[in-house]
Amino acid sequence: MDPHLLRTYVTVARLASFSEAARELGYTQSAVSQHIAALEQDLGAPLLTRRPVTPTAAGERLLEHAAPLLLRLDAARADVVRMAAAPERGLTLATAPTALGPRVLAALPRAGVTLRVLARDEIPAAVATGTADLGLVDGIAAPNDPLRLPDVAPLTTHGVAEEPVCVLLPDTHPLAGRSALRLGDLAAARWLDAPDAGVPLARLRAANGGGAFRPALRYDGTDVRVLTALAAAGHGLTLLPRSAASGVPGAVAVPLTEPRVVHRTELVYRGAPRGAAARLAGRLVERERERERLRE
């Protein structure tokens, strides 16, 4: 189970071709053939059907393991080499755009923290590789359920906030007067496609158990104000945590009641945070504890 073999295997599976994979990896196709043969011999089972080149059942299973394994190998290497060239930075907090709710902002110390806003998917990687000491990710989830994070390193998560999810509608929208909405009613509408700033459309479909959720304009940045402005201007709908959706000029935030999902924010860190990172983590989590106490 040499990582080199795994890498060629996933490449072959992805491209469905030995020769294509060889080209991409800079090997001869003979070498690729030998790699696959070695893996199959090692594991004692065929992994690919030839002609067409398709993973077998065992091969599918291996793919599920191999991709994250390779990711983690890279992350580990990146982390250690970065440490080696450690330029002794301060405390860095990587955050998804909509994870910066009022509660989190209130808990931030007045100085000494570098804030870095990244796309949601990049945050676990940033924490894993040590680019950031702490991460804040958010997403919609069933209440009480952890978020699904890309799996790049052994990370610990801690819920820091949950708030209702709202649909941001322009004032002029026929449903703007409603006091609550169901996601299913909006499956046929046009949605802003902003995977890095808002909620990815695929996530909406998953939460709703299907539906079109046709993409309107696509926005690749991470600026929430751009997103709210686009929604207010009628370029499409978007889902946001209530705190981010309220108070947008020209738009109204209507809470989503079905399916029962919440906007959840989680703190992500590596192992046990130490020093300044531990203090900041403590403050973020303490906020959540207080809130729970008040809720009862």
Partner DNA sequence: TCTTCTTACGCTCGGCGTAAGTATC
Partner DNA sequence: GATACTTACGCCGAGCGTAAGAAGA
Query: Using CB under 7 A as the criterion, which residues of the chain lie in contact with DNA when the complex forms?
Result: 2, 4, 17-19, 26-31, 33-38, 50-53
Q: Cα separations (Å) of 261 from 81, 175, 207?
A: 40, 20, 8
Q: Is 68 in the site for a second copy (CB under 8 A)?
A: yes
Looking at the Cβ atoms of 15 and 285, the one nearer to a second copy is 285
Distance CA 239, CA 237 (A): 7
CA–centroid distance for 186 within its chain: 23
Considering only residues 88, 174, 293, 294, which one is a binding residue for a second copy as defined by CB under 8 A?
Answer: 293
Looking at the Cβ atoms of 51 and 110, the one nearer to DNA is 51
Q: Is 275 in the site for a second copy (CB under 8 A)?
A: no
Q: In the complex, what is the shortest distance from the CB of residue 265 to a second copy, in angstroms, rounded to a whole number?
A: 11
Q: Cα separations (Å) of 59 from 13, 24, 25, 46, 162?
A: 9, 20, 20, 7, 39
Q: Is 115 in the site for a second copy (CB under 8 A)?
A: no
Looking at the Cβ atoms of 213 and 269, the one nearer to a second copy is 269
Partner whose binding site includes residue 26, from DNA, a second copy, none (CB under 5 to 8 Å by kind): DNA
Distance CA 238, CA 186 (A): 10
Instruction: Map tokens 């940033």 to a residue.
Output: 126
Which run of H or E residues covers position 245? helix 242-245
Partner whose binding site includes residue 106, from a second copy, DNA, none (CB under 5 to 8 Å by kind): none
Partner whose binding site includes residue 50, from a second copy, DNA, none (CB under 5 to 8 Å by kind): DNA
Local structure of 128: helix, strand or coil: helix
CB 88, CB 52: distance < 8 Å: no
Considering only residues 106, 115, 142, 202, which one is a binding residue for a second copy as defined by CB under 8 A?
Answer: 142
Task: State the maximum Cα–Cα separation within the chain, in Å, rounded to a whole number.
Answer: 67
Partner whose binding site includes residue 36, from DNA, a second copy, none (CB under 5 to 8 Å by kind): DNA
Q: Is 64 in the site for a second copy (CB under 8 A)?
A: yes
Distance CA 227, CA 219 (A): 8
Considering only residues 31, 45, 217, 278, which one is a binding residue for a second copy as defined by CB under 8 A?
Answer: 45
Looking at the Cβ atoms of 193 and 288, the one nearer to a second copy is 288
Q: 203: number of CA atoms within 13 Å, CB side?
A: 22
Distance CA 132, CA 109 (A): 16
Q: Is 76 in the site for a second copy (CB under 8 A)?
A: yes
Give, as ranges, the residues between 82 and 101 that touch a second copy (CB under 8 A). 83-84, 86
Q: 176, exposed or middle or buried, with CB in 10 Å at 0-12, 13-18, 19+?
A: middle
Considering only residues 5, 123, 153, 230, which one is a binding residue for a second copy as defined by CB under 8 A?
Answer: 153
